[in-house]
Amino acid sequence: MAKLPLLVIDIGQQRIKVLQLRIVKSGVEVVKAGEERLMLPPNVDTETFYQRIRETLPLLLQRLEIKEKRAIVTIPGRAAFTRRLKIPVVRGRQLARIIRYEARQHIPFPLDQVNMDYQVAATSGDVAELEVNLVAVRKEVAAAYTDILKKCGIRVDVIEAASLSVYNAYAASTDHDPEEVTAIVSIGASGTDIVIEQNGMMQFMRSAPVAGNSLTNLLVKGLEIPFDKAEELKVIPLSDISETGGEQAASGFSPERVSSILEQGFESIVTEIRRSFDFYVSQPDALPVTRVILCGGTSKMEGVSEFLEDRLGVPVTVFDAEKCSAVQLSDEQKQMLRVEAPLMGMAIRVARKSRCALSFAPDHIKQRLELERRAPVLSLMAFLMVLMLTGAIYFLQTMVDQRSLAVARVSQIIKPGEDSRADLKKARDTQDMYLNRFSRISEVSSKRGNLSRVYLEMQNLIPEDIWLESIELTSTKMVISGRALNYEVVSTYVQRLSMSPFFDYDSVVIRDQNVLPDSTGLSQTLTQFKIEIVRFNDPSDFEIKFIDEFRKLTQNDTILLVNLSRSNPDDPESDAKYIVGLYEMERDEDRLKILNKIGTALKNAGEDQTIKDIELRFHDRENNEIKRIQLTKEKLDEYLGRQLTPDDFINNFVMVTPSPSPTPTPTPTPEPGEGEQTSMGMYGMGMYGMGMYGMGGMGMGGMPMGGQ
């Protein structure tokens, strides 16, 4: 089971609130809690909002002395799209396919632009349909919050919609009553989240665009005062805004006037709540709301619950964090967090007692968490494999020792002589055979992981119209023998092997290639070939992932070369440069497209801090290098993050005209009597420029070994 983070962060329109938690027997304990105002003016743009978060959150964490780096974070409820689905009773992959099909009909965005999650309602007995809560969040919203917190030194593990956090807090409190039709209403700064539960299951979720800021803006307009002053006035009890001796109070405004303006604002909020209630009750099997649980910062205002109860006609109770028994709070924290349902909901999730545990984090984060969850099982499997291999080696060693002992005894008993020399030689030869086998097994066992990956890579790159007849594999060399329909197919295979991160481009050698006579009478000849790979690489997971991602993005492009060059080849942590070779591009627009694909592939592959530079090498159609463009990885990140305009980005290009190509590095010398062609030799013949990397891609080949 993956370990959940112990830091929860609620980012609102006006404040950032955080909790640091500790796992205890009953659930979690709040170790530290705090909040910080963002000090934002009204109607602020998104970029300014994100910038203020980057400035404020590190200061808040520093003030609270919080060192935790993994977090759960909420996004506003208005950023989530929710639909209630009814589907046939299915399970497993069929369930996922049906939900994905329904999502296309109900979510107003292409599915590749959203992060989607769902929850199936618990059922009892025979039911004809399953009820599913489907929730989706735009990928760009989730990515924005992830990137912001990353720049603050925080790694996001879970992204949760504030509406779901509010519901989880209520469902874990002692106020929870599945017999009631309960509406949980969270009035924050920029929006009012409304969640309705019926029969113990969340049935409806909506976010209205009127909330605390709407009240503040009405005070600003009605009293002609600054936004900050209106924020302070909004939370002052009306009893403190009194007139004494004909003089106005320190606030400068009569309580009647302030009350009238606030009442107007709350009427707008009540209208949105009623609209949600009316829409819900119009749905099949829906019942009228029988009570309201109120939470959020605006619920702290004097008389709010009484006003809503009068207007809505149902009992209204203010949420109390103290009633969440799974979260231990100090007396000071109980007062601070009394109505903070989103924070309490995330704390409930860390305690693994949440009713609705959905996450809208990017796919790479979910995959990382899934790998962490499976890590103990994978470690156990690896341990068992090592144990089995150790046992096999021990068994072979025992056999070798027994054979050596037998030979020694024979040597002592048998006297040297002409008649016994043949038998003695045979025994010694047998001993040498076992010793050689043992040495080979030990060598293979030490490199078994890399050789398996090399073998799979060789198989994946097999094009069609090739049949492999044999593969000789050692720890330092691979010899591939087979037949192909023609010479071009063999060249295609060599080109793909040369572009693989597992092999150097100058280590793939064609040792033999002959045209077989036509034995079918159909005028169709076959080419018999033998390819030798004389050196293997051990690429990192990042290099493999980058190549895979880049291949997907450049399927329609002609890519001549992709190579990771380090300043110190023996040090995997030394500074690195990615070199990409391609045909000359005259337009800056085409160059920017390639750089976009490089940046996207690097991002999808994960971060590698050692990559400092990117170099594009342009060739003419005769495959002569004519130009280079060099730029730093930092400038590429700034361009992709829209911190640089295309023109400014292009101005950072360093144009280099290469000197005439030096004499090619000698390729391995073939054995006497054998012909030789290498991937470097094909460069001059045009095979390097065939673009097999961009044309071929991965996943070719099949049984039998690339045949029809």
Same-domain status, 313 and 401: no
pLDDT at 249 over 50: no
Output the domain CATH number for residue 454. Answer: 3.30.1360.100
Instruction: Give the mean model confidence (pLDDT) for residues 683-690.
Output: 32
**Residue bearing the bigger pLDDT, 280 or 394:** 280
pLDDT-based confidence at residue 668 (cuts at 50, 70, 90): very low
User: In this structure, what are the phi and psi dihedrals at residue 362, rounded to the nearest 5 degrees?
Assistant: -55, 155
Same-domain status, 329 and 308: no
pLDDT tens per residue, range 586-612: 888 888 888 988 988 888 888 788 898
Residue 14 CB partners (closer than 8 Å, separation 6+) = 37, 38, 40, 189, 212, 213, 231, 297
The most confident of 349-358, 456-465, 653-662, 694-703, by mean pLDDT: 349-358
**Residue bearing the bigger pLDDT, 420 or 63:** 63
Same-domain status, 15 and 155: yes
E strands of 590-650, at which residues?
611-619, 625-632
Give the orientation angle of helix 212-223 with respect to helix 255-281, to 10 degrees.
150
Tokens representing 184? 């949980």
Give the predicted TM-score (pTM) of the model.
0.54
Report if residue 128 sits inside a domain. no
pLDDT-based confidence at residue 666 (cuts at 50, 70, 90): very low
Q: What is the pLDDT of residue 242?
A: 53
Same-domain status, 68 and 186: no
Round to whole Å and give the CA distance between 432 and 434: 5
Same-domain status, 576 and 513: no
**Residue bearing the bigger pLDDT, 631 or 437:** 631
Please report the sign of the dihedral spanned by the C-alpha atoms of residue 392, residue 394, residue 395, residue 399.
positive
Round to whole Å and give the CA distance between 97 and 314: 41
Output the domain CATH number for residue 5. Answer: 3.30.420.40
Instruction: Give the mean model confidence (pLDDT) for residues 672-688.
Output: 36
Residue 442 CB partners (closer than 8 Å, separation 6+) = 393
Please give the residue range of the domain that contains residue 104. Answer: 1-82+93-118+133-175+324-361
**Residue bearing the bigger pLDDT, 61 or 445:** 61
Round to whole Å and give the CA distance between 22 and 6: 7
Residue 257 DSSP SS3: helix
Report if residue 705 sits inside a domain. no
Same-domain status, 472 and 499: yes
Query: What number of helices (H) and strands (E) belong to the chain?
Result: 20, 24
Q: What is the pLDDT of residue 429?
A: 77
Q: What is the pLDDT of residue 435?
A: 64
Nearest to 295 by CA among 212, 202, 415: 212
| Gyration radius from the chain CA atoms | 35
Nearest to 169 by CA among 372, 288, 325: 325
Round to whole Å and give the CA distance between 256 and 33: 37
Q: What is the pLDDT of residue 344?
A: 94
pLDDT at 398 over 70: yes
Q: What is the pLDDT of residue 706?
A: 42
Round to whole Å and give the CA distance between 200 and 180: 8
Annotate 388-431 with three-state secondary structure.
HHHHHHHHHHHHHHHHHHHHHHHHHHCCCCCCCHHHHHHHHHHH
- Count Cβ atoms below 10 Å from residue 616 Cβ, excluding itself: 20
Mean pLDDT for the chain overall: 80
pLDDT at 425 over 60: yes
The answer to whether 203 and 196 are in contact (CB under 8 A) is yes
Q: What is the pLDDT of residue 90?
A: 83
Report if residue 704 sits inside a domain. no
CA torsion 179-185-186-187 (nearest 10°) is: -160
DSSP label at residue 323 = G
Report if residue 703 sits inside a domain. no
Domain boundary among 260, 287, 318: 318
pLDDT at 391 over 90: no
Round to whole Å and give the CA distance between 75 and 73: 7
The answer to whether 329 and 320 are in contact (CB under 8 A) is no
The answer to whether 217 and 224 are in contact (CB under 8 A) is no
In one letter, which amino acid is 108?
P
Same-domain status, 467 and 607: no
pLDDT at 130 over 80: yes
**Residue bearing the bigger pLDDT, 381 or 84:** 84
pLDDT tens per residue, range 97-120: 998 998 888 888 899 999 989 888
Q: What is the pLDDT of residue 447?
A: 53
Domain boundary among 391, 424, 446: 446
pLDDT at 672 over 70: no
Round to whole Å and give the CA distance between 109 and 104: 8
- The domain tally of the chain equals 5
What does the DSSP assignment read for 113-128? GEEEEEEEPP--S--S
Nearest to 590 by CA among 556, 563, 613, 565: 556
**Residue bearing the bigger pLDDT, 470 or 350:** 350
pLDDT-based confidence at residue 695 (cuts at 50, 70, 90): very low
Q: What is the pLDDT of residue 408?
A: 74
pLDDT-based confidence at residue 43 (cuts at 50, 70, 90): confident
pLDDT tens per residue, range 141-178: 999 999 999 999 999 999 999 999 999 999 999 999 99
Same-domain status, 166 and 22: yes
Q: What is the pLDDT of residue 167?
A: 94
The answer to whether 558 and 695 are in contact (CB under 8 A) is yes
Instruction: Give the mean model confidence (pLDDT) for residues 521-541.
Output: 77
Q: What is the pLDDT of residue 85?
A: 87
Instruction: Give the mean model confidence (pLDDT) for residues 271-288.
Output: 93
- Count Cβ atoms below 10 Å from residue 620 Cβ, excluding itself: 12
Residue 611 CB partners (closer than 8 Å, separation 6+) = 576, 577, 578, 602, 633
- Residue for token digits 């460069």? 683
**Residue bearing the bigger pLDDT, 83 or 4:** 83
Q: What is the pLDDT of residue 434?
A: 62
Output the domain CATH number for residue 581. Answer: 3.30.70
- CA distances for 579 relative to 207, 576, 611, 616, 650, angstroms: 49, 10, 11, 6, 18
Report if residue 114 sits inside a domain. yes
Instruction: Give the mean model confidence (pLDDT) for residues 273-277.
Output: 95
pLDDT at 139 over 60: yes
Residue 504 DSSP SS3: coil
Same-domain status, 415 and 343: no
Q: Which helix (H) or strand (E) holds 64?
A: helix 46-64
Give ∠ CA 256-260-261 in degrees, rounded to 5: 125
- The share of the chain scoring above pLDDT 70, in percent, equals 82
The answer to whether 210 and 356 are in contact (CB under 8 A) is no
What does the DSSP assignment read for 322-352? GGBTTEE--HHHHHHTTT-HHHHHHHHHHTT
pLDDT tens per residue, range 174-208: 999 999 999 999 998 889 999 999 988 899 999 99
Report if residue 574 sits inside a domain. yes
pLDDT-based confidence at residue 347 (cuts at 50, 70, 90): very high
Same-domain status, 71 and 103: yes
Domain boundary among 446, 464, 482: 446
Percent composition of the chain: helix, strand, coil (DSSP 3-state, to 5)? 45, 25, 30
Same-domain status, 588 and 647: yes
- Residue for token digits 């009605």? 222
DSSP label at residue 244 = B
pLDDT at 1 over 80: no
Residue 306 CB partners (closer than 8 Å, separation 6+) = 316
Q: Which helix (H) or strand (E) holds 19?
A: strand 15-24
Q: What pairing do the DSSP bridges indicate for beta strands 7-11 and 70-75? A: parallel
Residue 586 CB partners (closer than 8 Å, separation 6+) = none
pLDDT-based confidence at residue 284 (cuts at 50, 70, 90): confident
Round to whole Å and give the CA distance between 510 and 512: 6
Tokens representing 352? 């693994």
Same-domain status, 43 and 162: yes
Q: Which helix (H) or strand (E) holds 223?
A: helix 212-223
Report if residue 127 sits inside a domain. no
Residue 10 CB partners (closer than 8 Å, separation 6+) = 16, 17, 18, 73, 74, 162, 165, 340, 342, 343, 346
pLDDT at 397 over 60: yes
DSSP label at residue 688 = G
Q: What is the pLDDT of residue 120?
A: 87
Least reliable range by pLDDT among 212-216, 249-253, 280-284, 702-706: 702-706
Tokens representing 272? 């949105």
Instruction: Give the mean model confidence (pLDDT) for residues 385-394.
Output: 83
Report if residue 125 sits inside a domain. no
pLDDT-based confidence at residue 86 (cuts at 50, 70, 90): confident
- Count Cβ atoms below 10 Å from residue 414 Cβ, excluding itself: 14
Q: What is the pLDDT of residue 679?
A: 36
Tokens representing 138? 């735009």
Q: What is the pLDDT of residue 192?
A: 93
